[in-house]
Chains A and B, each alone.
Chain A
Amino acid sequence: MSDDRLGITGEVASGDRRNERIVTRVLQGCAAVTIATTVAIFAVLLDNAFSFFYGQRLHEAVLGATLDQRVGVVEFITGTRWAPYHAFPDYGVLPLINGTLLITVGAAFISIPIGTATAIYLSEYASERVRGVLKPTLEVLAGIPTIVYGFFAISFITPVFVRPVFETLGFSVSFYNAFAGMVVVGIMTIPMVSSISEDAMSSVPDDLRNAAYGLGATKQEVSTQVVLPASISGILASYILAVSRAIGETMAVTLAAGHRSQMTLNPFVEIQTMTAYMVQMARGEAALGTVEYQSLFAVGLVLFLMTLSMNLLNDWVKRRYREVYR
C-alpha cells in the first residue's frame, strides 16, 4: 500500500470483494431455484404423461423398456368423450378442454370489461382519497383464498343469483353449473386486470395528458385516445395473465362447476374442467400406475402447455407493442 499514492488500488475495506462474490453467488442460487423447479415440473409431467400413452415412463422407455400402447395420442387429443371410470373407458380430453375454455371465456367477459373500467377510473378519474380506499379493497379481493370463492359460488352465486334469475327466464339450471364458475373466476381475476392495467396507465407520462388537456380534450378523450393507446402493452398483458389464471384456476371451479365432463356450450349444466378432473383424480380413487391415475399427468401436461403458450403470447405482445409507443 505504500506505493499507492492515488489511493485507488487495494480494497476500501478488507473483505469487501469477497463479500461481493458471496452475495452474488447467493442471489444467483436463489434465482436458479425457480428455473430448476420449472424444468423439474415439466420433466415429471412429460415423463409420467408418456406412461399414460405407452405404459412406460419416458426415462424407462429411453432405457429400453418395451412399450405397451394404452391410449392413442390422437384419441386423447381428438376424442370427445372423457370417461376414465366407465366400464368402457374413453380418454378424449376435448370435453375437459371445452370445460376449461368455457369457464375461461366466460370469466374473461366479466374480468376484462370490469377490470379495464376500474383501471381507467382509478388512474384517470378517481381522487386521491377514493383511490386510497379502492386500491386496498381490490388487493383484499385478490387475496381471498380461491376455496372461499368456490364456497361463495355454491352458497350464494348459484342459489341466490344464477338459479332464480335464469330459471325465471326458462332455463333449467343444475346445482353445479358453468355459469357460476364463470362469474366467480371472473370476479377473482378482476383485481389482476385492474391493478396491472392501472400500473400501465399510471406510468403514461403526465406530459401526454397535459398535451391533450391543453388542447381542450375531455377526460374521456384523454383516457381513451391518449392513455389507453399509450399503455396498451401493459393492458393486454393483464388480460393474458387473467386468462392464464382462469385456465389454471382450480378450487373455485371445482366447487362451482362440478365433475361431469361433457362437450357443451350450455353454461347452466354441470361441466368439468381440466383442473377439476385433476383434483378428483388426485384424491386417490385410482391406484398408482393405472391408466386412470397416469391420465392425471397427461391432462396436467396439456394444462401446462396452455398456460405456457399464454406466457409466450404475453412476451410477444409486450415486445410487439412496446416498440410502437416508447
Chain B
Amino acid sequence: MSETELEIDVDREEDADEETTSDEIAVETRDLSVWYGEDRALQDIDMKVPENKVTAMIGPSGCGKSTFLRCINRMNDRIDTCRVEGEVRFRGKNVYDDDVDPVALRRRIGMVFQKPNPFPKSIRENVAYGLKIQNKTDNLDESVETALRRAALWDEVKDQLDSSGLDLSGGQQQRLCIARAIAPDPEVILMDEPASALDPVATSQIEDLIEELARDYTVMVVTHNMQQAARISDKTAVFLTGGELVEFDDTKKIFENPDDQRVEDYITGKFG
C-alpha cells in the first residue's frame, strides 16, 4: 500500500476565530465522542494539536485520555464494542471517513505503548519491521541506524544488532520501540504513558528523547504524571472523569494559572 492512499486535504480552512498562535495544526478533533457499548468514554472533544510540539494529555485514570489517543490512529477499531462519533482531522482529512484505510493512516501516525513491546526478533529486525511492511527497504541498514540514533539507543546496541530485542533492559526496550515507531518516518507519534513502566533513570532518558523528537515530529503523549507533563510538553490537555476535556492550553498556563477550578484542584492534588 502506498502512502498516497490517505488523501490529504491541502487547502484546509483557516478560520478567523482560530487560536492566536500561528502554529500549524497537525491533528484536530471536532465533537469527538466514544462509547464502549453503553458506556460513554469521551464527550464531545474539540482539540487542535499543533505541529512539531509536544502535547500532553493528563487526567485521573478512567478519564478517557488513552481512548482519545487511540482514536487518532484508529487503534480503537480493534475493539469490537467501541463506537466513535465526531471527527478526527489529520491535516484536514477526517480519518473516520469511509475512504480512509486505517492501515495507511497508521503508517503516517506512529504509536508507542505503555509497556515496552518489542517483537521477539533481533534488534535490527525490530526497527526494520515497519520499513519492511511499508516497502521502504532501500538503504535498510542506514535507516535502522538513523532510527536507533534518533532514539538515543545506537551507541548502546550497535555491536549487538542481531541479538534479541527482549534481551535489552526495560528502558532500552522502550527506546527500541520508539526507534521502531520513528523508523518509517511518520508525521505524528502517539505515546501512551511511555515511561510508566520504567525506572526513574530510564524515564528521564525517555523524557529527553520526547523533547528531542518534537523537532521533527508532532508528539502526543498521554501521562498520569503531572510533573512529567509539565517538564516535557508545550501544550497540555486536562481530561477529567467522565471523558470530558476540561481545559486545553499552553502547559505553562495550565500549571500556573488554569481557568477551571477543577483543573486547579487536580493539579494541586486536591482530587484524582
Contacts and interface: CB of A to CB of B under 8 A. Distances in A.
Interface string B181-205: 1001000000000000000000000
Interface in B170-185: 177, 180-181, 184
Interface of A: 127-128, 205, 207-218, 221, 225-226, 229-230, 324-326
Interface residues of B, number: 26
B103 A218 contact: yes
B117 A215 contact: no
Contact of B177 (A211, A217, A225, A229): A211
A215 B131 CA distance: 9
Contacts of B53: none
B119 A217 contact: no
B226 interface: no
A217 B113 CA distance: 16
Contacts of B134: 215-216
Contacts of A211: 113, 117-119, 177, 180
Contacts of B104: 216
26 contacts: A205-B117, A207-B113, A208-B117, A208-B119, A209-B78, A210-B75, A210-B113, A210-B117, A211-B117, A212-B129, A213-B78, A214-B111, A215-B107, A215-B110, A215-B180, A215-B181, A216-B1, A216-B103, A216-B104, A216-B107, A217-B103, A217-B133, A218-B1, A225-B133, A229-B120, A326-B120
Contacts of B180: 211, 215
B128 to A, nearest CB: 11
Contacts, number: 68
A230 B111 CA distance: 21
A212 B181 CA distance: 10
B14 interface: no
State the 8 A-B residue pairs at the shortest beta-carbon distance, nearest first: A216-B107, A214-B111, A207-B117, A215-B130, A216-B106, A211-B117, A325-B120, A217-B133
A210 to B, nearest CB: 6
B91 interface: no
Given A214-B106, A226-B119, 16 more contacts: A207-B113, A208-B119, A210-B113, A211-B117, A211-B119, A213-B78, A214-B110, A215-B129, A216-B1, A216-B104, A218-B1, A218-B103, A221-B133, A229-B120, A324-B120, A326-B120
Nearest to A218: B103
Contacts of A127: 80
Contacts of B93: none
Contacts of A215: 106-107, 110, 129-130, 133-134, 180-181, 184
A49 B180 CA distance: 61
B55 interface: no
Contacts of A225: 129, 133
A226 B117 CA distance: 12
A50 B76 CA distance: 66
A128 B82 CA distance: 13
B174 to A, nearest CB: 12
